[in-house]
């Protein structure tokens, strides 16, 4: 009795012998496959159709990759301009002003915040995008958001948004935040949008990490200079 091959065995045989149809042109022409239109087409037509679909898919992916590359290039140029301004800053106020101008003007976002954290800083002091808070206050308000090293994006709690961007008339709805660290946590850098959902967890945050890494290296000497200047300013104020 002649054994009957199953469909799976036929598939396996053809997969193991991809040149099976070579020299069997009549067989190839006699094979037909169903088409989306409902009519039967030859195997060759089906292959051509698949190749065209594959070509269109690859073309679409290429267009998307080029678009992403151009977007990243624009982000890099904006980030470079911001960092050049930040490097030239002589104090914390100038650094925060450069960040605020760039984020709102060049990047087109609605808010920026450079929040520095430390027990020896004048907690509660704010100037534009610069905010100085105690470690206890920051930990109590932001909690686990301070524990990581990567950017966190999303729709934060209203209390967190108000803490990061105090005194705003137009409330921030969506936030991207990244901690600033040296050997310890020294602050956070945050940007905000009034548009809900502008930032989400799937958003790429390369430019934020790029900026925050530079800020983390530039801030310590400026912080030291700020601490040394505070007693002098207080002495001048007391003498008046």
CATH number for 166: 3.30.450.40
19 in a domain, yes or no? no
CA distance 42 to 51: 14
pLDDT at 236 over 60: no
pLDDT at 232 over 50: no
118 in a domain, yes or no? yes
pLDDT at 34 over 70: no
Domain containing residue 116: 62-239
Q: Which pLDDT does position 60 carry in this prediction? A: 92
What average pLDDT does the chain have? 79
Identify any residues that bridge with 114 across adjacent strands, giving them in sequence order: 130, 189
Q: Which pLDDT does position 151 carry in this prediction? A: 82
55 in a domain, yes or no? no
C-alpha to C-alpha distances, 225 to 92, 115, 209, 222, nearest whole angstrom: 9, 17, 25, 5
Indicate the number of domains in the chain: 1
2 in a domain, yes or no? no
User: What b/e readout covers 211-225, taking b as 16+ CB neighbours within 10 angstroms?
Assistant: bbebbbebbeebbee
Closest C-alpha to 82, from 105, 61, 60, 63: 105
pLDDT at 110 over 60: yes
148: number of Cβ within 10 Å: 12
Section 176-190 average pLDDT? 87
DSSP state of 89: -
Section 95-110 average pLDDT? 89
Closest C-alpha to 113, from 47, 168, 42: 168
């Amino acid at each position: 009795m002649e054994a009957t091959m199953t469909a799976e065995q036929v598939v396996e045989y053809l997969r193991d012998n991809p040149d099976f149809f070579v020299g069997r042109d009549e067989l190839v022409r006699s094979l037909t496959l169903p088409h989306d239109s409902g009519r039967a087409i030859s195997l060759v037509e089906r292959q051509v159709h698949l190749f065209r679909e594959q070509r269109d898919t690859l073309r679409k992916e290429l267009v998307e990759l080029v678009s992403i590359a151009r977007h990243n290039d624009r982000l890099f140029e904006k980030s470079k301009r911001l960092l050049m301004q930040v490097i030239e800053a002589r104090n914390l106020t100038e650094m925060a002003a450069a960040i605020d101008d760039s984020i709102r003007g060049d990047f087109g976002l609605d808010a920026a915040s450079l929040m520095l954290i430390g027990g020896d800083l004048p907690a509660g002091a704010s100037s534009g995008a610069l905010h100085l808070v105690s470690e206890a206050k920051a930990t109590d308000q932001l909690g686990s958001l301070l524990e990581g090293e990567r950017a966190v994006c999303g729709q934060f709690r209203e209390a967190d948004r108000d803490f990061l961007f105090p005194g705003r008339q137009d409330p921030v709805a969506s936030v991207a935040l990244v901690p600033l660290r040296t050997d310890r946590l020294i602050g956070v850098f945050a940007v905000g949008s009034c548009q809900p959902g502008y930032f989400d967890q799937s958003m790429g945050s390369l430019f934020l990490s790029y900026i925050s890494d530079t800020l983390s290296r530039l801030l310590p000497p400026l912080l030291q200079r700020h601490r040394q200047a505070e007693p002098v300013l207080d002495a001048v104020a007391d003498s008046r």
